[in-house]
């Protein structure tokens, strides 16, 4: 690795312990080498080195993958975290983003122009993993998934070549990386289209858990018909015992909505008022704020190193029976940090069909994630078994697969279910670009 400009970290180095850690404190893996790449040449060098020495290779950008797929035991970690350059082109309304950027880096660069890339809901997540899996969040109903704003990407392939993919160059691979994860190569740079998102009306509105059934029904009717620029995801949570919240609500399990309305303020006010009139919220913190501030609102609650275990499903409809199952498990939220989110994926996400990109669940209306989180490793089993039994109860009411970015390591059947009818085409493209499955530390699509 003498050609590497960045640092190469090995088990005997002082920074090895801190560098091998990822966001999920439950993941405890020991790579042989961690290469902190400085530029594309470093990435090319690492790929060639890994292939020539027959090493298992993991690729890490934001390190947020809950299943720990950005790191690997014994092998080589190609770490992009120092490749975080960004350039906005205001005339073309595009932004060029290097692979190691976090969502907060992208927001920082684009917000001065009143613009944003539609990404997620927590600013510390990596743009690469999020985008390659699809990318859903506050702006999904307005502008679609992150992949729907992707115009071009530079990809380092398993054979050590660098190619640019777009609608007109290697269009098969461009199709596959829009949802197919890190299966096909290492994306060193993305070109995104920008959208208007300066000030938004956003923040949480909460109701008592006993009011869940009527709130969920009302929410379902509302969000399936709401204008695209209105967004709110449904959540179960426990109110943290901190000054920000009224003491009377501390540690109460509640249901609620987190809003992010862009554009027309009158429409937004009307939407908020509908919910306030239907049932007065016990807490109403919705306000005007910059989009970037909304994306950072919950960062402090979820620092690096907590124990995470999550399970997910796509949902078409919240039937009466499904609502009851959800309520039963929401009552048993196992810790203050544990939560459940239903992210709407209708609106602009439905402007494309399942076959248009690798992301195969555009016919669904929500991506649900059941999140067991706790700072204490001693509670690892408690949060995991709650998430597993919750999932077993609600899975029969789901659309089948799950958002790959909300999965742990769950096996091949689950990966296939999540790509549905797109799996065989993905497998053919994998065979063309990575026939030996060099990139397999991911939700793996097997070559044919
Ligand atoms: C707290 C939290 C909040 C989240 N919120 C959202 C959200 O709002 N919306 C959403 O859609 N998802 C969300 N996610 C899920 C997130 O999208 C995935 O965890 C994603 O894998 C994170 O990307 P990363 O770059 O940080 O991950 P990493 O752990 O660095 O990598 C994850 C996977 O992506 C692959 N990969 C990473 N970088 C590259 C690259 N440059 N080229 C090729 N492959 C690469 C890796 O091989 C690995 O398989 C959240 C996750 C967490 C933990």
What tokens were used for 312? 């997910």
Angstrom distance (rounded) from CA 322 to CA 117: 33
The CATH architecture that domain 86-196+422-433 belongs to is: 2-Layer Sandwich (3.30)
- In this prediction, residue 357 carries a pLDDT of 98
Residue minimizing CA distance to atom 42 of ligand 1: 186
Average pLDDT for residues 287-298, to the nearest whole number?
A: 96
- In this prediction, residue 1 carries a pLDDT of 81
Query: Which ranges constitute the DSSP H helices of 247-372?
Result: 265-278, 291-296, 320-330
Q: How far is the CA of 204 from the centre of ligand 1 (A)?
A: 24
CB neighbourhood size of 123 (10 A) = 21
Ligand 1 pocket residue status of 268, Cβ below 6 Å: no
- In this prediction, residue 24 carries a pLDDT of 97
Average pLDDT for residues 403-417, to the nearest whole number?
A: 95
Taking only the tens place, the pLDDT of each residue in 163-177 is 999 999 999 999 999
- In this prediction, residue 264 carries a pLDDT of 86
Share of the chain above pLDDT 70, in %: 100
* pLDDT tier, 381 (very low <50, low <70, confident <90, very high otherwise): very high
- In this prediction, residue 160 carries a pLDDT of 97
Residue with tokens 């740079």: 189
Ligand 1 pocket residue status of 133, Cβ below 6 Å: yes
CA distances from 268 to 111, 116, 117, 261, 271 (A): 21, 19, 21, 6, 5
Rounded-to-10 torsion of CA 22, 25, 30, 36: 10
| Burial class of residue 166 (count of CB atoms within 10 Å of its CB; 0-12, 13-18, 19+) | middle
7, pLDDT greater than 90: yes
Taking only the tens place, the pLDDT of each residue in 314-344 is 999 999 999 999 999 999 999 999 999 999 9
Average pLDDT for residues 237-262, to the nearest whole number?
A: 96
Angstrom distance (rounded) from CA 110 to CA 108: 6
Average pLDDT for residues 284-293, to the nearest whole number?
A: 97
- In this prediction, residue 44 carries a pLDDT of 98
Q: Relative to the CA of 80, which ligand 1 atom is closest?
A: 41
Ligand 1 pocket residue status of 66, Cβ below 6 Å: yes
Q: Relative to the CA of 406, which ligand 1 atom is closest?
A: 15
Average pLDDT for residues 412-429, to the nearest whole number?
A: 97
Angstrom distance (rounded) from CA 178 to CA 199: 28
Share of the chain above pLDDT 90, in %: 98
- Pairing relationship of beta strands 76-79 and 57-60 according to DSSP bridges: parallel
Angstrom distance (rounded) from CA 193 to CA 151: 7
Ligand 1 pocket residue status of 182, Cβ below 6 Å: yes
At residue 115, the 3 state secondary structure works out as strand
Ligand 1 pocket residue status of 62, Cβ below 6 Å: yes
Helices 265-278 and 212-223 cross at an angle (nearest 10°) of: 150
Instruction: Of 57, 315, 345, 355, give the one whose Cα is nearest residue 178.
Output: 355
371, pLDDT greater than 90: yes
Percentages (nearest 5) of helix, strand, coil residues in the chain = 35, 25, 40
Q: Are 211 and 120 in contact (CB under 8 A)?
A: no
What tokens were used for 347? 């609106």
Ramachandran bin of 160, using left for φ above 0, alpha for ψ from -120 to 50, beta for the remaining angles: left
Instruction: Of 427, 349, 385, give the one whose Cα is nearest residue 141.
Output: 349
- In this prediction, residue 228 carries a pLDDT of 96
List the chain domain ranges.
Answer: 8-79, 86-196+422-433, 199-406
Pocket test for ligand 1, best of 47, 64, 162, 178 (most atoms within 8 A of CB): 64
Ligand 1 pocket residue status of 129, Cβ below 6 Å: yes
The CATH architecture that domain 8-79 belongs to is: 2-Layer Sandwich (3.30)
Angstrom distance (rounded) from CA 238 to CA 167: 45
3, pLDDT greater than 90: no
**DSSP structure class, residue 445:** P
Q: Relative to the CA of 23, which ligand 1 atom is closest?
A: 53
Taking only the tens place, the pLDDT of each residue in 178-203 is 999 999 999 999 999 999 999 999 99
283, pLDDT greater than 90: yes
At residue 363, the 3 state secondary structure works out as coil
Angstrom distance (rounded) from CA 380 to CA 307: 6
Fold for domain 199-406? Vanillyl-alcohol Oxidase; Chain A, domain 3 (3.40.462)
* pLDDT tier, 263 (very low <50, low <70, confident <90, very high otherwise): confident
119, pLDDT greater than 90: yes
Average pLDDT for residues 237-257, to the nearest whole number?
A: 96
* pLDDT tier, 412 (very low <50, low <70, confident <90, very high otherwise): very high
| Burial class of residue 365 (count of CB atoms within 10 Å of its CB; 0-12, 13-18, 19+) | buried
Average pLDDT for residues 361-381, to the nearest whole number?
A: 98
Angstrom distance (rounded) from CA 296 to CA 329: 28
Pocket test for ligand 1, best of 25, 43, 47, 65 (most atoms within 8 A of CB): 65
């Amino acid at each position: 690795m003498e050609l590497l400009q960045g640092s190469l970290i090995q088990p005997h180095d002082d920074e090895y312990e801190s560098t091998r850690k990822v966001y999920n404190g439950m993941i405890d893996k020991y790579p042989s080498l961690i290469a902190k790449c400085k530029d594309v040449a470093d990435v090319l060098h690492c790929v060639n080195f890994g292939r020539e020495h027959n090493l298992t290779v993991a690729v890490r950008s934001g390190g947020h993958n809950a299943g720990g797929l950005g790191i690997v035991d014994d092998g080589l970690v190609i770490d992009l975290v120092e490749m975080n350059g960004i350039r906005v082109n205001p005339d073309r309304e595009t932004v060029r983003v290097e692979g190691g950027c976090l969502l907060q880096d992208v927001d920082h660069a684009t917000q001065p122009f009143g613009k944003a890339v539609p990404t997620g809901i927590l600013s510390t997540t990596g743009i690469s993993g999020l985008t390659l899996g699809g990318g859903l969040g506050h702006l999904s109903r307005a502008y679609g998934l992150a992949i729907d704003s992707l115009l071009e990407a530079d990809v380092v392939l398993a054979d050590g070549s660098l190619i640019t993919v777009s609608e007109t160059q290697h269009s098969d691979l461009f199709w596959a990386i829009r949802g197919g994860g890190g299966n096909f190569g290492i994306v060193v740079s993305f070109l995104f289209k920008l959208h208007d998102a300066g000030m938004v009306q956003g923040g949480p509105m909460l109701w008592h858990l006993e009011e869940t059934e009527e709130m969920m029904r009302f929410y379902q009717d509302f969000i399936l018909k709401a204008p695209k620029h209105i967004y709110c995801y449904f959540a179960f949570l426990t109110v943290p015992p901190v000054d920000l919240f009224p003491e009377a609500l501390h540690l109460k399990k509640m249901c609620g909505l987190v809003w992010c309305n862009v554009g027309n303020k009158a429409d937004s006010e009307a939407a908020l008022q509908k919910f306030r009139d239907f049932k007065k919220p016990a807490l109403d913190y919705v306000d005007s704020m910059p989009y970037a501030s909304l994306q950072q609102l919950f960062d402090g609650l979820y620092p690096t190193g907590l124990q995470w275990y999550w399970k997910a499903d796509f949902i078409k409809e919240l039937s009466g029976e499904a609502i009851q199952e959800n309520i039963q498990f929401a009552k048993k939220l196992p810790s203050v940090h544990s939560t459940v989110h239903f992210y709407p994926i209708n609106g602009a996400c439905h402007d494309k069909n399942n076959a248009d990109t690798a992301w195969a669940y555009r016919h669904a209306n929500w991506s649900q994630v059941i999140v067991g989180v706790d700072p204490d490793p001693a509670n690892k089993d408690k949060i995991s078994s709650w998430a597993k039994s919750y999932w077993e109860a609600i899975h029969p009411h789901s659309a089948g697969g799950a958002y790959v970015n909300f999965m742990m390591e769950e096996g091949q059947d689950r990966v296939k279910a999540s790509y549905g009818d797109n799996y065989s085409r993905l497998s053919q493209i994998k065979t063309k670009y990575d026939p030996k499955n060099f990139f397999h530390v991911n939700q793996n699509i097997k070559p044919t």
